[in-house]
Structure 1
Amino acid sequence: MENIKKVFTEFKGNKNLSILILAFLGIALILFNFPLKKDTPPITPSNPKIDNLETFELQIKKELENILSKMDGVGKVSVMVTLENSSEMVYSENYTENKRENREEDSQGGKRNTVEYNKTGQLVIIRRAGNEEPVVIKEIMPKIRGVMVVSENGDNPKVKLEITKAIQSVLDVPAYKIFVVKGK
């Protein structure tokens, strides 16, 4: 640090040389990727992950039971949720696209144009604790196949309608996939 101060005091009168030296130092830092902070962990998305489908189903079931039981006239409820498929992971990829056009003309005046597209992709991999793993952009949770609700007052048409509307608005499930019945 003292050496840098000494250089700047010597060339204080020459502004162009000082700017040139600063530019050179900046470029050197960029080229050598000089670490400004040491031991900084890589930035990763902090989305809470659902361990498996049963946990996802159970979470939806409990939340539905909790909220439906608080609705007026519904009483005690028990909920069953079924899922269509498993969750889907979307991974980050680096893509390279190439386009090549070829125009040919033969001796009789005929013309031919060909266009060739080439797209290649490669998964983005990070190293974490000695292991390599792909970078996950997002996890698409499975769609809900159907919901069954057993309610103390499930035989009341008004209660059935209220439960059906609530599930439709919360889970975006069509009415024909929701079944509400009276329980014991």
Structure 2
Amino acid sequence: MNFKRILQKLNEDRKKAIYYLLILFLCGVLLILIGDIIVKLNTKKVNNIKNSVEVNTNSNIIATSASFEDKVKKDLIDTLSQIQGVGKVSVMIYFEGGSESVPALNINDTNRKVEEKDSQGGVRTTTEISKNENVVLINEGGTSKPYIIKQVNPSIGGVIVVAEGAGNSEVKERILNSVKTVLNIPASKVSVMPMKK
């Protein structure tokens, strides 16, 4: 009888043990899922930060170039519209290339000349030339940036001016001369057309 009782007790303990093992297994699965979700969220945050930095950097470069081009166009329209007889003006400017920043460079040139005399009285001359260029960096807001000494704007490839008064040859000539002068380009790069009514 004791044997039956022992088997019965083991059976009850086995059910409890399986129950506890099942709970332990489910807790482990839950912890793994929570850990995976946290890792994915952190990865998304890092990627979003990287993307926003790239977008901001690129938009600053584009904004600098676009603002120069927009300013040239706006100034040209403002100037041409003030010429007598021109009337309403529309301008299209084709820019070749983009803006370029020229950083300051720290240049170290070394010239070394060595003369050696051999036992027969001959002289051998060796010249060593080395050049080392480093971009000059400045600290701005905790980050290092190149020190820009010059901003090279894109060159103008062509200009089209459409004006109300361009049908008059005298006004057309004034527009052409003004554009050539203000943008420092040859007449072959400027086209002046009358505006449709």
Query: Letter of the aligned partner of 1:125 in structure 2?
Result: L
Query: Letter of the aligned partner of 2:188 in structure 1?
Result: Y
SS in 2 for 1:173: coil
Matched, 1:61 2:73: yes
Superposition map of 1:90-129 within 5 A:
90-106=102-118, 110-129=122-141
User: CA RMSD for the aligned pairs?
Assistant: 2.0
The CA distance in 2 between the partners of 1:171 and 1:137, in whole Å, is: 23
- Deviation (angstroms), 1:85: 0.7
Larger Rg: 1 or 2? 2
Q: How many residues align?
A: 136
SS in 1 for 2:167: coil
* Counterpart for residue 175 of structure 1: 187
| Structure 1: stretches of 5+ with no match in the other structure | 1-48
TM-score normalised by structure 1 residue count: 0.67
Query: Letter of the aligned partner of 2:129 in structure 1?
Result: Y
1:136 to 136, 148, 154: 148
Superposition map of 1:1-184 within 5 A:
51-106=63-118, 110-184=122-196
- 1:50–1:56 CA contact under 8 A, matched in 2: no
Q: Which one has the bigger helix percentage? A: 2
- 1:79–1:149 CA contact under 8 A, matched in 2: yes
Moved more, 70-79 or 54-63: 54-63
TM-score normalised by structure 2 residue count: 0.63
What is the percent sequence identity of the aligned residues? 41
